[in-house]
Copies of this chain bind each other. A is one copy, B any other.
Amino acid sequence: MAVTMKDVAEHAGVSLPTVSRVINDTSYVNAETRAKVLAAIEELQYVPNQMAASLRSNNTKTLALLVPDIASSFWTTVLRGVEDEAMARGYHVFLGNTDDDPAKEARYIDGLVRRRIDGLLIAPTAKSVPLLRRLRQQGMGCVVVHRPVSGLEIDTVRSDAYASAVILTQHLLAAGCRRIAFIGGEIEQGRLRAYRETLAAAGQVLDPALVRIGPLSEQVGEQLVNTVLARNPPPDAIFIGNNRLATGALHALGRANAQRSEPIAIAAFYDSAALSVYAPPMIAAIQPAYEIGRYSTRRLFDRLANKPVDGHEIILSNRIMIVSGAHTPSLEPAAG
């Protein structure tokens, strides 16, 4: 049916492995022979069968990235970083969307293992540790993206959310805010901890009603803001711990602030893509999504090549940005 390497070999008048050598550039081939083979490939419109190659050579030239939320610009930006790095090496990337659901995650991973992908980049759910452990036992190259994993020494690439959260909280305190609400996601405990500890260090007592955790979506962001705003007395600042929540939360806050003389101060984990769409005055921590994607992938390739690497955690720093009154976000970095 389809054109195979054998056909190409016959057409070019050479042996089959020679064709393979030309294609993969894997051994010496005479320039004339190479030309003949390339001509035959062109003429027959031959496309190599990756299945057969993978079966024999034991690698698929394929990675996978499992993200919790494909609709988040953070994750799509990570994907871009991963793809750029992978494609440059001739690899393809399988993208999977887990919705932070362990069952979905498991289903994906089963399919990926069946397909013998070479390596996995994953933002694991809270319950994925045993799964990760098993994967590593099976010898699958794994890098955890953007989320710290406890109880398992595994390569991780993330930004230092804790440190940024401290800076953001301190900034609000320095601005004189005394009732700082927090909204965030279940999985991002580090940011909540940073907020709590920074308030405590400053001798502030926090109103538990001002801390709201919820699933990561725009709608929830909006709801959580409305919930904390309804508290009496209302907060004088809000810390938004997640970029997806932020998109909804900022709109709610925009409407609320429009009707106040004294606006509610805002600190948020936000996103450079989202920033260019909507950016009210606030202090924001912008996570280096693209770089996280690239570094994760590089680390994965290093592992696959058995290169020695030092440490199993790569921590990138967020960009702290102060957005002033104008809509167009100022580009002055406030800290590293």
Contact = CB atoms under 8 A, between A and B. Distances in A.
Contact of A277 (B49, B114, B138, B247): B247
Nearest to A48: B114
A138 B46 CA distance: 11
A92 B71 contact: no
A330 B72 CA distance: 26
A87 interface: yes
Contact of A49 (B114, B222, B248): B114
A198 interface: no
Interface stretch (A12-20, A25-33, A105-113): A105-113
A interface secondary structure, majority: helix
Interface stretch (A51-59, A261-269, A295-303): A51-59
Contacts of A222: 277
A131 interface: no
Given A76-B70, A92-B115, A277 B218 contact: yes
A76 B71 contact: yes
A107 B87 contact: yes
Given A70-B70, A92-B94, 4 more contacts: A49-B114, A51-B55, A70-B79, A251-B277
Contacts of A218: 276-277
Interface in A198-218: 218
Given A51-B55, A71-B273, A278-B251, A111 B97 contact: no
Q: Could you say which of A80, A222, A278 has the most chain B C-beta atoms within 10 Å of its C-beta?
A: A278
A110 B276 CA distance: 34
A277 B115 CA distance: 38
A115 B51 contact: yes
A276 B76 CA distance: 21
B114 A97 contact: no
Contacts of A62: 115
Interface in A39-87: 45, 47-52, 54-55, 60, 62, 70-71, 73, 76, 79-80, 83, 87
A50 B97 CA distance: 21
A49 B157 CA distance: 30
A71 B87 CA distance: 20
A68 to B, nearest CB: 13
A51 B47 contact: no
A95 B92 contact: no
Nearest to A58: B1
Contacts of A60: 51
A219 interface: yes
A309 to B, nearest CB: 23
Contact of A50 (B48, B116, B248, B273): B116
B71 A114 contact: no
B55 A277 contact: no
A113 B116 CA distance: 18
A275 to B, nearest CB: 10
A52 B55 contact: yes
